[in-house]
Structure formats: structure tokens, C-alpha cells
Amino acid sequence: MSTATHCPYCALQCAMHVEAGPDGQPAVRPADFPTNRGGLCRKGWSAAQLLHSPQRLVRPLVRTGGTGEFAETGWDEALDFVAGRMAGVREQHGPDAVAVFGSGGLTNEKSYLLGKFARLALGTSRIDYNGRFCMSSAAAAGIRAFGLDRGLGFPLPDVASAEVVLLAGANPAETMPPMMGHLSGPRLIVVDPRRSATAEFARERGGLHLAPRPGTDLALALGLLHSARAQDLLDGDYIGARTSGFDEAWKYAAAFWPERTEQVTGVPAHLVRAAARALGTARGAYVLTGRGAEQHATGTDTVSAWINLALALGLCGRAGSGYGCITGQGNGQGGREHGQKADQLPGYRRIDDPAARAHVAGVWGVDAGELPGPGPSAFELLDSLGTAAGPKALLLMGSNPAVSAPEAGRVRDRLSALDLLVTCDFVMSETAAMADVVLPVAQWAEETGTMTNLEGRLLRRRAVLDPPPGVRTDLEVISGLARRLGQPDQRFPAGADAVLAELGRASAGGGADYAGVSPQRLEAGEELFWPVPGPGAGTPRMFLEGFAHADGRARFAAVGHRGAAEEADAQFPLIATTGRLMGHYQSGAQTRRIGELAEAEPEACVEVHPDTGARAGLDDGGWARVVSRRGATLARVRYRAGARTDTVFLPFHYGGEQAANNLTNPVLDPVSRMPEFKVSAVRLERSDPPQDARAASSQNAGAAAPAAGAGAGRRGPARPAGG
């Protein structure tokens, strides 16, 4: 028997069939679908292996008194304990003393019900999610420019017909390999400090690689706009008819002639002119941004600068051209639309908008005054945990901030200071290992729900097999806790289709309107791109008739270059930037447990130019200690002749002493509250390898699910198993 569904990893959401393999265990094969066109990457091909992993969690675990070790318990006992402790904390310290942290990997139904749970069952404003670390700057810039944020405002296959595509801070050849089939025809301009696989792909096909100094992407975008105008390539009719604010934005670009752009960014002036000419003379062109443009303390302004370039060339809201953000996490788009962000209600509504509050409260059957206001953003929330004025308890679903958050050592300290940490997971991640309670939940192929991919396309994720005995879905966990916290049974349904129907009512009339989405339409194979305001509706291409601002015009943003929050100096002479490897995903909690992926990339690495490595006394293949002002990480040295001599690259998929985010800077963008992951001043030191490199790799791959009585590594005093 074969079931059609979608990959559990990135926002490309490749279609696949899950069926019994030769050994009787679940296996996958690709399906023909517009995004992946019958292809899968290494992660997708191996995705089913985690479904029968011996490291799978299958029993609730509660930390016992005295020893501080985990003991297995029943579901009723675990949920009673969690609800009792949350209620006690709330009664003693107020509703904001209990916090919730979600994920861009949760289905739309989970994202919606988790936000509702926080606001109604807990009454807390303290909810945010790990998508704040991924797409928030592009979302803020998109709303600023267009009045609405959808990652790609067009179907991905449209890109294949373009003559030129500029990729700023995106490396799909490694992060989304099937996407490269859509990029094999256009001429590519790749903006990346690193000579990535995507940059090599572009160079081999006559494209351009622009390698700016980390933190200078905004200056490069200004330089391209200046050069395009100097070459008389701007679309003046489009600017006059469909936009506003160009003159104010131009004041900043006017100072970035190509030679000055070269001084600031390191990109040669002739390449600035060539890239502007290629974009400005193309019959069809797209500007696409990714995490490299966003994960800065200036991320919103940087993405705005790239949007300004696209607007000035007349690309946006036109068939065959456009601007888009390449969303990262599997439901990065849907996850930011339906209420698990601190400032948001379902339908991409703002929580401080009285009309939005009244609408959602009506759907929920409560008074709008019962809804809390906006809370702190993700890092600010994590950094407040366990402090005198911060939350004392945290429910965490689908995220691993002990590895993925900036200045991860500081975040681990804050997690350790909590009175109660509860995680919902299917493996013992680094964060779960610190918890007081670990609730084992279903995986992607064991539950039904919807996802929204990078195009804004609604997808049906289907249950292929039952979860192991003793495992529940996240929706069942939320529903069970809500009832124990005094909520009416019908207010928190545990069935995905019932939640989707309510989500449709709550989002109706909002920017991300899902009112017309139904399981029946999805099962029938309809292509649904939000907004879907009713039956027969859908919006594959956005803004063709006008933008979402009241006057129908797009807005240029008046943004100027300013340096990174941290510069290199004599003590820390290099800049570290972070990113992904083809074989791993996010914090690696899943992929490091799949044998072939862990074997291919078993340990952290640091990519270094040979001259830079030699000056630091490093050997290719040896070990280095990478040190920043916030912490250090161990990584195996990889010489890369094409690397910048002032920059090193580290992947962020590893935990413990190999965690790249031990280094990163938590300074935040003032608009999106995005941390500055991409620029950290560091130095390199020669290091002995870990005592046993294989043991270190095994530790990164995670220990098997602990049996009753096994320790879990949480610092601080043990928590009792009883209330």
C-alpha cells in the first residue's frame, strides 16, 4: 500500500509516497509535484528511517525526586502533573509566568491550537516560536513593502521561465536541492560571502558570484540600485504608477556608486555593474532572498533594500518577474500566520488590533478583553526564563533552542533556571534532555494535517501509519492539557480536520485567509494558494491587480547601510557566519539520528581559507577551537580555496561543544527581533580532537531514549515526580 504525502523537512515540501520497503519497514519514493518534479534530496530519501528508529521516545518521562533522573509514567499522570504545576505557577506568579515556545515545523492546525492554548487556557502573552529566527525579517520587510507577507507570491515553476534570477543569501543547491531544477535555465546571480554549491552552480553556467563581506549585503543592494539607475535600467513608468517613496529611498542609494560599493563590500565594481545590467535588461527576472540576507541586526532593512531593487526594476506584481523570500522551515509560512507569534492572531492579524481581537474572540466564544496583548519575541522570551520577572514554566513544542538559539550557552542557562520545563518531542533532543517532563509525540507520517509551503500553497499531510503504542499527537497533548486547566471539552478539539475548520473561521477576512480551505478540496487535488476566502477561490499569483496597502501601491523603504553589530578586531580578527549542510536539517535532532546522514557529516566543521588556516597554525582535517566573545565551539578544519580570507563558515546542526550557536550574537533587529546569526567576530585556535572523536559524533547523534532511571543531564536541583 502506498500513501501520498509530503517530506517532513524544508519548506519546499516535496511530494512523496510512503510504502513498505523490502525489509517491511516504511520507505519513501518521490512523487511528481510542481515543486520537486519527481526529485528528492538525501534527507527526503532517508526520511522514513526515523519512523522506526530505536531512539524513538514512546513513554512519557518525568524527572524523579532525589536522583533527578527520568522515570516512565502514564499519560494521565504526566498530563495531570504538568497541568497541576502550570496552574500552581500561574496562581502564584500570574499568567505570564507560564510560557509557550512553538515551531515553524508544526502543522497549521498545531500552530493555531497552540496559540489558542496560550491565550485562553494559560492566559499568557508569553508565546513565540523558532520561526522568529528564520523568516521574520523578510516577513517584516514584505509587509512594509507590499502590505502583506507571503514567501513567494507566485508558484515556484514560474521562476524557470525567467532569464535572470538573483539569489541573495540563499544556497538551495544544499538546502533545497530539488529546487535547482527550476534554476537550471535562468542565468544566476548568487550573493553569498561563501563560495557555496549554489555559487559554483552559477559560475559553471556563466552566472555571477558576488561575495560581499558578511554584514554588507544592504550596501551591495544599494550599489546595484545605483548602478541600475546609472545605466538607465529603471522602470520609470512602473515606479510612477505602482509605487511610492522612491525619492526618499534613492537618497541612500545615491551614495553607493560601484567603486564605493566595492570599498564597503569587497565586491568588484565591474561585477556590480554587470549584475545590475543583467537584471535590468532581462526579459523576466526574479530577486529571491534567504537567511543570509535576513539573519542580521539589520535584516529587515537589508531585505527591504533588495525589495527596493526589485521594485525599481518593475519586477513585483507582474507575471514572469517578481521578488520572493525562500522560506526555510517546513511550515515556515503557515507557522507565522495563525497565532504562535507573540504579536499575532490567526489570519496574519495583529493582536493589538481591536477589530482583529473582536473577530477571533467571537470565534473562540470569549470576550475580547480576555485575550492578552503582545509579548516578547523569541530570544527575549528565552532570555527571560527563570528570572525574577520572567516565566517560571515553559511548554516547548517542536523546537530545540539549546542548539538553535543564539548565544546558546546563555539560553541553556536560562532553561536550567526554570521551575518546570516540558517538551513534546519524538527523540531526546538536547533541550528535551534538560526537561522535567518529556511527552512522546507522533511524527509526520503518523498524523494528518496541513502545511503551507514556500509558495503559499496549501498541502495535505496524510497519516500513513499509526504512532507506536504510548505515543500521542501534539493536538491530543494540547487538548488534554487544556481540559485539565479548566477549558470546555469542545473548545480544544484533538482532530486535525475539526481544528482546520475552526482555523478557517478564525482567519476569515484576514490577510492569510484560509476560510475556503477544506480537506475535501485538498484531497481532490485542487491547487490552493492563500488567500483562499471561499469555495473556488485561491491566489497563485499575488499583487497582479495591486498591492495590499490601502492605495494599492507598493512602498519603497528609505534604508541605509550601517555596519554589523560586531566588528572584527585584533583579539577576534575573523568573522564567522553560519548555515546548513546538505545532509542535515535545522538543529540536527532528527537527521543526526539517521545513520547514512550522520555518517556522511558526523561532526561539526569549520571552512577556512588555507592561508587563514595556516596563519592560525591549523591543519586541513585537524581540529580547531573557534572562539567568540560569548563562547567557543570545536570543529574539524576544512580548507576551502574559494573562501574569503577574512571569513569562516560553520554549520549549525550540532550540539554541545560542537554547537555553532555557542558563538553567535543575540543582538536583535529593531523591527523583526531577528538575532544576528550571520556575523560573529571570532579567532581560531589549534585544538586537540575530542578525547574520542567517534564518541563525540555518537553524542551528536543522540543517545537512545532513556529507560526508566536513566539520567538526562539537566543542571540544577531535581524536580519531584509528584505535584
pLDDT tens for 405-454 read 999 999 999 999 999 999 999 999 999 999 999 999 999 999 999 999 99
Residues 160 and 305 both lie in one domain: yes
Query: In which domain, by residue range, is 40 found?
Result: 2-52
Query: What is the maximum alpha-carbon separation in the chain?
Result: 75
Q: What pLDDT sits at residue 696? A: 43
pLDDT of 705 strictly over 50:
no
127-138 residues labelled b (16+ CB within 10 A) or e (exposed):
bbbbbbbbbbbb
Return d(Cα 190, Cα 209) in angstroms, integer.
5
Residues 140 and 109 both lie in one domain: no
Residues 598-624 have pLDDT tens digits of 999 999 999 999 999 999 999 999 999
The CATH code of the domain that includes 40 is 2.20.25.90
What's the average model confidence in pLDDT over 465-492? 96
pLDDT of 723 strictly over 50:
no
Tally the domains of the chain: 4
Q: What pLDDT sits at residue 707? A: 40
Q: What percentage of the chain carries pLDDT values higher than 70? A: 95
Residues 534-591 have pLDDT tens digits of 988 789 999 999 999 999 999 999 999 998 999 999 999 999 999 999 999 999 999 9
> For residue 519, what is its C-alpha cell?
480537506
What's the average model confidence in pLDDT over 77-93? 98
642 lies in some domain: yes
pLDDT of 219 strictly over 90:
yes
Query: What are the start-end ranges of the H helices in 401-473?
Result: 401-404, 408-416
> For residue 696, what is its C-alpha cell?
563525540
Return d(Cα 723, Cα 1) in angstroms, integer.
46
Q: What percentage of the chain carries pLDDT values higher than 90? A: 90
Handedness of CA 131, 137, 139, 140 (dihedral sign): positive
Residues 162 and 256 both lie in one domain: yes
426 lies in some domain: no
Chain-centre distance for alpha carbon 708:
34
Residues 241 and 127 both lie in one domain: no
- 716: confidence class by pLDDT, cuts 50, 70, 90: very low
713 lies in some domain: no
> For residue 110, what is its C-alpha cell?
498545531
Residues 335 and 318 both lie in one domain: no
107 lies in some domain: yes
**Is there a contact between 338 and 111 (Cβ–Cβ < 8 Å)?**
yes
What is the DSSP annotation of 606-640? Answer: EEE-HHHHHHTT--TTSEEEEEESS-EEEEEEEE-
For residue 247, the SS3 value is helix
Q: Measuring CA to CA, which residue among 314, 142, 146, 319 is closest to residue 240?
A: 314
Amino acid present at 312:
A
pLDDT of 720 strictly over 90:
no
Residues 7 and 156 both lie in one domain: no
720 lies in some domain: no
The CATH code of the domain that includes 578 is 2.40.40.20
Q: What pLDDT sits at residue 115? A: 98
542 lies in some domain: no
The CATH code of the domain that includes 491 is 3.40.50.740
Residues 311 and 339 both lie in one domain: no
**Is there a contact between 408 and 153 (Cβ–Cβ < 8 Å)?**
no
Residues 10 and 147 both lie in one domain: no
The burial class, CB within 10 Å (0-12 / 13-18 / 19+), for 412 is buried
Amino acid present at 128:
D
Return d(Cα 48, Cα 498) in angstroms, integer.
27
What is the DSSP annotation of 545-607? Answer: S--SSTTS-EE---------SS---SSS-EEEEEE--TT--TTSTTGGGSHHHHHHS-S-EEE
Residues 358 and 234 both lie in one domain: no
Residues 172-203 have pLDDT tens digits of 999 999 999 999 999 999 999 999 999 999 99
Chain-centre distance for alpha carbon 287:
20
pLDDT averaged over the chain?
93
Residues 182 and 245 both lie in one domain: yes
pLDDT of 698 strictly over 70:
no
Q: What pLDDT sits at residue 22? A: 82
Q: What pLDDT sits at residue 693? A: 52
150 lies in some domain: yes
Residues 150 and 109 both lie in one domain: no
Residues 655-677 have pLDDT tens digits of 999 999 999 999 999 999 999 99
Q: What pLDDT sits at residue 691? A: 62
Q: Which of 296, 326, 356 is the last residue of a domain?
A: 326
Return d(Cα 298, Cα 277) in angstroms, integer.
27
Least confident of 70-84, 136-150, 323-337, 480-494: 323-337
Residues 145 and 128 both lie in one domain: no
Q: Which of 326, 353, 370 is the last residue of a domain?
A: 326
The CATH code of the domain that includes 260 is 3.40.228.10
**Is there a contact between 176 and 39 (Cβ–Cβ < 8 Å)?**
no
> For residue 716, what is its C-alpha cell?
540544577
Q: Which of 464, 486, 511 is the last residue of a domain?
A: 511
Return d(Cα 89, Cα 95) in angstroms, integer.
8
Specify the DSSP element, H or E, that contains 227. helix 217-230
> For residue 352, what is its C-alpha cell?
493589538
The burial class, CB within 10 Å (0-12 / 13-18 / 19+), for 48 is buried
Q: What pLDDT sits at residue 68? A: 84
Residues 385-407 have pLDDT tens digits of 999 999 999 999 999 999 999 99
Q: What pLDDT sits at residue 89? A: 98
7 lies in some domain: yes
What's the average model confidence in pLDDT over 341-354? 96
